[in-house]
Structure 1
Amino acid sequence: MSKVKYLGIAALLSGTALSLVACGNNKAQNNEDADHNKFKEAVAKKAIKKGGILNYAIESDSPFTGIFLPELSDTSTDSEVASPGQEGLFQINDQYKINNNGAATFKLDRKAKTVTIEVKKGVKWSDGKQVNAKDIEFAYEIIANKDSKSQRYTASLADIVGLAEYHDGKSKTISGIEMPDGENGRKVVIHFKQMKPGMLQSGNGYFWEYAEPYHYLKDVPFSKLMSSDKVRKNPLFYGPYRVAKIVRGQSVTWERNPHYWRGTPNFEKVSMSVIGTNSVTQAIKSHKFDVAGVINTQWDNVKKATDTNFIATVPLSYNYLGFKVGKWNKSKGVNVENKKSKMDNPNLRKAMAYAMNIDAVAKRYYHGLSFRVNTLIPEQFGNYTDKSIKGYPYNLKKANQLLDKAGYKKKGEYRVQPNGKKLVINIAVRNNSSTAEPVWQNYIQQWKKIGLNVKFVGGRPMDFNNWVQDVQNDDPKIDVFEGGWSLSSEPSPNDLYNEAAPYNMARFVSPTQSKLLANIDSEKAFNPSYREQAFKKWQKWMYDEAYVVPTTNSYSVTAVNKKVSNWSLKPSSNNWFNAGFTK
């Protein structure tokens, strides 16, 4: 499955999709001030009664887009809103490894270069129709058909035989997706050009982990899917719940899916509604919601809330600073770096990173629940993380030295470019919490200390949806942007940063990097020690080049009403089926 989403506020993702995130409530580890030793990952299991309405907070300062189709949605807020109904094909364990306990079974044959997926009998759409082979294949058509405008088509998925030909309009079918028992059978065999070591992990990017109802959507042209009522108002799911009512951008009421394959979920209904980040703490204290993400900047005000359990996890995510050095070539589907662009100087990029007082900001604004990260592979990935990389700790002296060395001379208050031209750096910042403006005003002041004139694009932090649009579309006003990734549970960074990755929004391209990324996902990397070293070499290259600089991660803290039992943040959890109100 494609591996990112833009970090959305308070996103509690299962790690099976990568997403762009508007993260206002980023969360912490390795920090003496944090209360994290008090946190558990799940609330205690108690006897559960059937029934009741669970009130769930969707924390966002913008309306959700409501694209209930993971092939077309790329914000984690949409994923969160869809989660009561949107179940993946596979169950995973707490290390994100695929097992056969989910809606479909999975079998990898390295020699034959195939993955066989078989949907279990009785797994039905919320209209009662069995999920079949065509539904699995159809999801690939949505991703690969250019008319759908999906962001999910990647070089990794193009490892499937015939997918590129379908994408390019050279074939009307995907030759490498075989349905041995026909379209109405339950089995699909996917043929790959080469097998990859990450294929046993969920979120690996080489095959998709959802199905879509072909019988329901087949009459909707691909170009109309994103706006169709069948996607926006009346979507079908095979998860525990189905949509009862949608107030566009604001709320969704879910009712039990009578055809759910595992049985009857405990809650009678789930009511999800949008709440602005400034109102979250009061809503938790007054028990307006049974489940709500804690805004970390508000932790001191909320931590004493009564009749509330606080559980937490360090999510697979990071925030970062990205430097625009090129553009996306739409016709060729590749990033093109411009070696003459304003930010195409590693010393300038590193100087900006060293001037950021991230540790002080984490302490002041995030109450010890946020922490600086040093590398682009989170430490949850164990030996794949290069712990020898120290990142860019606050060091103004080093920042000044780097700029002097690169020829950025002072001319009055600010530095000029090496060619003597004026240097103004325009930064795009997400308005994702009440602290976004003061935090980034602080960084702008820090950059001023080293002679860099940095300004907000548009004069202030941006509405999240506008930020997504402008950063994705390479708005020429943007020189630098801050962002966040909610990552896939398979650690390969290929779909984020390769030459053909739309999500490589810094737009940097390097033959060296292409080789390093290829090594991570090569046949040789089925050998764990080879793969470890390949990961570390890529991290070191990224650290040296600094096209993308990781900044922070934080604890994701969730407030759960004490009357809710069995709610868990573990990767293997299935809250929408297992959780319920206590007797």
Structure 2
Amino acid sequence: MKKTQLLGSIGLVTGAVLTLAACGQKSNDNAGANGAKKFPQQTPKKAVKKGGTLSYALETDTPFTGIFNNELSTTQYDSDVAQFGNESLFDTDDSYKINNKGPATFKLDRKAKTITIEVKKGVKWSDGKQVTAKDVEYEYEIMANKGSKSQRYTASLQNIVGLTDYHDGKSKTISGIEMPEGENGRKVVIHFKEMKPGMIQSGNGYFLETASPYHQLKNIPFDKLQSSDAVRKNPIFFGPYKISKIVRGQSVTWVPNKYYWRGTPKLDKITISVVNPNSASQAIKSHKFDIASVVNSQWQNIKGTKDVNFIAQIPLSYSYLGFKVGKWDAKKGENVMNPKSKMNNKALRQAIGYGMNVDQVYKRYSYGLSFRVPTLIPKQFGDYFDKNVKGYTYNLKKANQLLDKAGFKKKGKYRVQPNGKPLTIRLAAMTGSSTQEPIVQNYIQQWRKEGLNVKLTTGRLIEFNSFYDKVQNDDPSVDMFLGAWSLSSEPSPNDLYGEKAPMNYSRFVAKKNNQLLTDMDSQKAFNHKYRVDKFHEWQKYMDDEAYVIPVANNYSITAVNKKLTGYSLKPSDANSLWYKVGYAK
């Protein structure tokens, strides 16, 4: 599964995905950054005892949506809530390369254009039923059936033979997904139109890495799936824990899955519950939770807390400013750009980018633990990251020059459009921690300094779920928006910025963008140097066009009760993490 998720908060100060890890990255405020580099990636290794209860903080100022199916969920919060039972089919190494140590084995045949997935014997759902080939196949039906309205039906997945015909209702089955031992067997062979260089990496987006319990879901119509009890109230998983209680939008209690294939997990109970980010530091100081993400703007208040291990990573994520220049056409399944849209002016977008004083903001509010990112490909992706792209640093002089040259003349306090009409730009931004409001208001002030009349959509910050509802549905009250991604562990940006990507929320479409995205995932891209060159070319292109301007990333610090052991942020530990976590003897 392409693990792209919607994140809250432009400062990304709510804890990001716990299953992704990364190497160090320099920040402008090196004191803070070097401090963060000293954090370990895991808790000290100790012998584990059986039993105990763990409380886990989900930091959000809004209820979680509670959609517990991989193909229907899009928010990071739901993923965080489900992590204790929702295991992937594959384990990986620390570079996210798929190995055969997980619930299923994986074999790629470039010549035959197939991958073979075989679920191991004894991998069972929490109701005791073996995970079957049909459970793996059914995940594709959920994702591709029009009735389910899954946002995960992407151009990348349409490389599977027969998937488009199934989606369009021309076929009742997906011809390219074979179950050689029948539905109750454990083997699945997936046929592709062409093989792709990223396929050996987890999160590549060309096939799914999860399964759904067919025996539980088969009688539910696809259009009723998202609201069904099986997805909302009593979902089942094949990971180490199973759900025992859900308080909708607020908390979920997990107990051991006695059928878990690796063995019995260590804890008796895990409860994950919502806590407002503004109360997070108090909760950590008072040891209310055994595991809680640190809100970076509160770091100074809690760094000396006793009986806590602080562990950290730079997650594969970033916040960004997106400009609305079109609409999603659901019938055609593609983005349609409007050349006449207000924000479809490159000089205007670039000037807005130069008006953001990102470095100063994070120096002030996050002690160097958050930092500006220059491109849409994170540094953790090694040579795919183009270090020569500098991005948009604060430069009001340059911003004003761009606007003057493009004909945005000042009329009184504010500039007007080149056609002489008034220019009001509506910005949608999410609620978040207590620093969110001052950060957003600061950007609005900077833009006003260059004569741009920027106002908040609705007049205030918008709650997470409503925010994405407006952005996804191309609400006309949104001209630009501050969003955030948690990324997949395969670097291709195709599913975020392609013509047929529902998550390309700017709705920009260009021949050159399509070409570069195609090139970086083509047969030629099996040659590493060629692929790297295309990634660099794309980053320069996106930087220049500025339809999406990257803003920031941060060190994601987790406070862990000192009595716990087995907690790790290493990619190789992600899939078996909750099997290992327990209290030290």
Instruction: Decide whether the 8 Å contact of 1:15 with 1:203 is kept in 2.
Output: no
Could you give the per-residue CA deviations for residues 57-77 of structure 1, whole angstroms, max 9, x where no partner exists? 011111111111011000000
Q: Which residue of 1 aligns with 2:562?
A: 562
Cα distance in 1 for residues equivalent to 2:473 and 2:63: 21
Q: Which residue of 1 aligns with 2:492?
A: 492
Q: Which residue of 1 aligns with 2:579?
A: 577
* TM-score, with length taken from structure 1: 0.97
Q: Which residue of 2 aligns with 1:290?
A: 290
Cα distance in 1 for residues equivalent to 2:504 and 2:442: 27
1:73 aligns with 2:78: no
Q: Which residue of 2 aligns with 1:137?
A: 137
1:456 aligns with 2:456: yes
Q: Which residue of 2 aligns with 1:31?
A: 29
Cα distance in 1 for residues equivalent to 2:253 and 2:370: 33
Secondary structure in 2 matching 1:551: strand
Cα distance in 2 for residues equivalent to 1:30 and 1:447: 23
| Aligned-partner residue type, residue 11 of structure 1 | A
**What is the CA-CA distance between 1:240 and the residue it aligns to?**
0.2
Secondary structure in 2 matching 1:91: coil
**Bigger CA drift: 163-172 or 564-573?**
564-573
Instruction: Decide whether the 8 Å contact of 2:20 with 2:569 is kept in 1.
Output: no
**What is the CA-CA distance between 1:233 and the residue it aligns to?**
0.9
Question: Unaligned regions of 5+ residues in structure 1, if any?
Answer: 17-26
**What is the CA-CA distance between 1:398 and the residue it aligns to?**
0.6
Secondary structure in 2 matching 1:189: strand
Cα distance in 1 for residues equivalent to 2:171 and 2:98: 31
1:356 aligns with 2:361: no
Instruction: Decide whether the 8 Å contact of 1:11 with 1:77 is kept in 2.
Output: no
Instruction: Decide whether the 8 Å contact of 1:28 with 1:314 is kept in 2.
Output: no
**Bigger CA drift: 192-201 or 2-11?**
2-11
Instruction: Decide whether the 8 Å contact of 2:28 with 2:368 is kept in 1.
Output: no
Q: Which residue of 1 aligns with 2:224?
A: 224
Cα distance in 2 for residues equivalent to 1:50 and 1:31: 43
Instruction: Decide whether the 8 Å contact of 2:16 with 2:315 is kept in 1.
Output: no
Q: Which residue of 1 aligns with 2:11?
A: none
| Aligned-partner residue type, residue 6 of structure 1 | L
Q: After TM superposition, which residue ranges in structure 1, 4 or more long, deviate above 2 angstroms?
A: 11-16, 27-31
Q: Which residue of 1 aligns with 2:553?
A: 553
Instruction: Decide whether the 8 Å contact of 1:309 with 1:562 is kept in 2.
Output: yes
**What is the CA-CA distance between 1:367 and the residue it aligns to?**
1.4
Cα distance in 1 for residues equivalent to 2:29 and 2:488: 25
Instruction: Decide whether the 8 Å contact of 1:355 with 1:395 is kept in 2.
Output: yes
**What is the CA-CA distance between 1:30 and the residue it aligns to?**
5.4
The number of aligned residues is 573
Cα distance in 1 for residues equivalent to 2:349 and 2:18: 31
Cα distance in 2 for residues equivalent to 1:508 and 1:204: 23
Secondary structure in 2 matching 1:392: coil
List aligned pairs for 1:188-227, cutoff 5 A: 188-227=188-227
1:156 aligns with 2:153: no
1:11 aligns with 2:16: yes
Question: Unaligned regions of 5+ residues in structure 2, if any?
Answer: 9-13
Cα distance in 2 for residues equivalent to 1:36 and 1:405: 43
**What is the CA-CA distance between 1:14 and the residue it aligns to?**
2.4
Secondary structure in 2 matching 1:33: helix
Q: Which residue of 2 aligns with 1:92?
A: 92
**What is the CA-CA distance between 1:7 and the residue it aligns to?**
1.0
Cα distance in 2 for residues equivalent to 1:209 and 1:468: 25
Instruction: Decide whether the 8 Å contact of 1:371 with 1:553 is kept in 2.
Output: yes
Cα distance in 2 for residues equivalent to 1:66 and 1:196: 34
Secondary structure in 2 matching 1:557: strand
Instruction: Decide whether the 8 Å contact of 1:29 with 1:36 is kept in 2.
Output: no
Q: Which residue of 2 aligns with 1:21?
A: none
**What is the CA-CA distance between 1:40 and the residue it aligns to?**
1.1
Q: Which residue of 2 aligns with 1:124?
A: 124
**What is the CA-CA distance between 1:100 and the residue it aligns to?**
0.2
| Aligned-partner residue type, residue 517 of structure 1 | L
Give percent identity, aligned residues only. 65
Secondary structure in 1 matching 2:572: coil
**Bigger CA drift: 46-55 or 255-264?**
46-55
| Aligned-partner residue type, residue 368 of structure 1 | G
Cα distance in 1 for residues equivalent to 2:106 and 2:464: 37
Instruction: Decide whether the 8 Å contact of 2:377 with 2:539 is kept in 1.
Output: yes
Cα distance in 1 for residues equivalent to 2:540 and 2:88: 34
List aligned pairs for 1:366-381, cutoff 5 A: 366-381=366-381
List aligned pairs for 1:227-246, cutoff 5 A: 227-246=227-246
Secondary structure in 2 matching 1:283: helix
Instruction: Decide whether the 8 Å contact of 1:69 with 1:231 is kept in 2.
Output: yes
Instruction: Decide whether the 8 Å contact of 1:3 with 1:495 is kept in 2.
Output: no
**What is the CA-CA distance between 1:575 and the residue it aligns to?**
2.1
**What is the CA-CA distance between 1:119 and the residue it aligns to?**
0.1
Cα distance in 2 for residues equivalent to 1:350 and 1:33: 31
Q: Which residue of 2 aligns with 1:19?
A: none
Secondary structure in 1 matching 2:226: helix
Cα distance in 2 for residues equivalent to 1:10 and 1:222: 32
Instruction: Decide whether the 8 Å contact of 1:314 with 1:554 is kept in 2.
Output: yes
Cα distance in 1 for residues equivalent to 2:324 and 2:66: 29
Cα distance in 2 for residues equivalent to 1:235 and 1:327: 34
Instruction: Decide whether the 8 Å contact of 1:565 with 1:582 is kept in 2.
Output: yes
